[in-house]
């Protein structure tokens, strides 16, 4: 699944796009929010489709970028502005600074040279809420444990109009950095709202209640600017990841 627009009717439509389809031209305006979990080396969208997507977001559309969707479209300037931070795809200092928090809670904008995107082994790692007063994170514990997931590190990008809501600390043996890396972000682009989650490698990470709740709240916020969903009782704690096992397994 690469692309998931949710219609105003509540119905959704899933489209797959393994290679560039010159006829791929959805009417984005029909939808409150567009969700992408595209990945590394995703087929570029046709120019006209890029233009219409940019106009849709500028005019107040919603976009949700999940995990490897921040690897996609490295050469598309507007897309990089929408996601705020990206990884891989030959992204370097030319695309913007590294953004992260140090281990005592200071936000760092780092313009040093280097590639973008790295991760250690998949594992449960602590997510730290940096903005507890945002509707998406309000009521979450300060620290909560993710599912077995990749903690993306060394993301870099324009980072304009971006708020880092939560960071992750890679505790694996081969952690690429020793710092707090952005995992949940919001970006404003024109009148549009973007929710960017770097979490969500696969089913094990999707089953984490922290992923589920941040995804649902972030999507509602991107679509409407509001969040009406409460934090459930089974939300993860600083020690316990708390999973909901999906009945339908994809692997």
Which pair of tokens denotes residue 46? 């046709």
The CA R_g of the chain, rounded to the nearest whole Å, is 17
DSSP, res 45:
P
Beta-carbon contacts of residue 115 (< 8 Å; ≥ 6 apart): 88, 91, 92, 154
Whose tokens are 């979990």? That residue is 37
Pick between residue 135 and residue 176 the one whose CB is nearest to Zn ion. 176
Q: Which residue is nearest to Zn ion (CB)?
A: 201
Beta-carbon contacts of residue 182 (< 8 Å; ≥ 6 apart): 85, 99, 100, 101, 155, 164, 166, 167, 168, 198
Binding stretches for Zn ion (CB under 5 A): 150, 201
- Give SS3 for 202: coil
Whose tokens are 């005592």? That residue is 104
With vertex at residue 32, the alpha carbon angle to CA 27 and CA 38, rounded to the nearest 5 degrees, is 70
Strands 107-110, 98-101: pairing is antiparallel
């Amino acid at each position: 699944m690469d692309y998931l627009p949710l219609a105003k009717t509540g119905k959704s439509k899933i489209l797959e796009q393994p290679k560039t389809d010159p006829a791929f031209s959805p009417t984005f305006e029909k939808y409150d929010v567009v969700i992408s979990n595209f990945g590394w080396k995703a087929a570029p969208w046709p120019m006209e489709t890029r233009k219409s997507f940019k106009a849709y977001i500028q005019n107040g559309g919603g976009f949700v970028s999940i995990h490897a969707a921040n690897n996609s479209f490295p050469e598309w300037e507007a897309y990089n502005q929408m996601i705020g931070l990206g990884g891989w795809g030959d992204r370097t200092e030319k695309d913007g600074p590294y953004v992260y928090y140090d281990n005592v809670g200071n936000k760092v904008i780092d313009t040093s040279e280097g590639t973008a995107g790295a991760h250690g082994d998949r594992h449960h790692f602590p997510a730290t809420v940096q903005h507890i007063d945002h509707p998406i994170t309000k009521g979450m514990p300060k620290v909560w444990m993710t599912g077995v997931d990749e903690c993306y590190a060394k993301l870099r990008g324009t980072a304009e109009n971006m708020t880092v809501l939560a960071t992750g600390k890679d505790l694996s043996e081969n952690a690429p950095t020793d710092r707090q890396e952005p995992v949940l972000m919001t970006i404003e682009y024109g009148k549009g709202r973007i929710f960017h989650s770097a979490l969500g490698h696969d089913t094990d990470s999707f089953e984490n209640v922290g992923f589920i709740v941040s995804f649902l709240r972030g999507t509602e916020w991107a679509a409407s600017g509001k969040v009406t969903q409460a934090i459930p009782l089974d939300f993860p704690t600083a020690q316990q990841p708390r999973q909901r096992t999906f009945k339908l397994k994809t692997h």
